[in-house]
Amino acid sequence: SGLAWYLYIYADSSFRLCDTSDSSTPHLAGTYSLSGNSLVGSLTNPGVGSADVSATVSGSSITLTTIENWYSPAQTNVFTGNKL
């Protein structure tokens, strides 16, 4: 068991990490650039701070790493999931 998050990646180089599957509740939002199957960018947690983000897609799975700069020292989180 675990927490469910939904990552939405848009063609305009923006993305949202949401609490619900309909993208109506963005928890974090940011911008990205792509190189092959890798995404790098920055995000904002409104009212809290900024973070760096990277993701790699391999087949139907994705690994997302965030480095949350609002913690001291910065906190790294790794999430894994499946493309829907």
Taking the C-alpha atoms of residue 66 and residue 43, their distance in angstroms, rounded to an integer, is: 9
pLDDT (tens digit per residue) in 63-72: 999 999 999 9
- Residue holding tokens 């809290």? 48
Give the model's pLDDT for residue 68. 93
**Cis, bond preceding 73 (omega within 30 deg of 0):** yes
3-state secondary structure of 12: coil
Region at 23 (left for phi over 0; alpha for psi -120 to 50; beta for the rest): left
Give the model's pLDDT for residue 2. 60
Q: What is the pTM of this model?
A: 0.79
Full pLDDT tens readout for the chain, 84 residues: 467 788 888 999 999 888 888 877 787 899 999 888 899 999 998 889 999 999 998 988 999 999 999 999 999 999 888 877
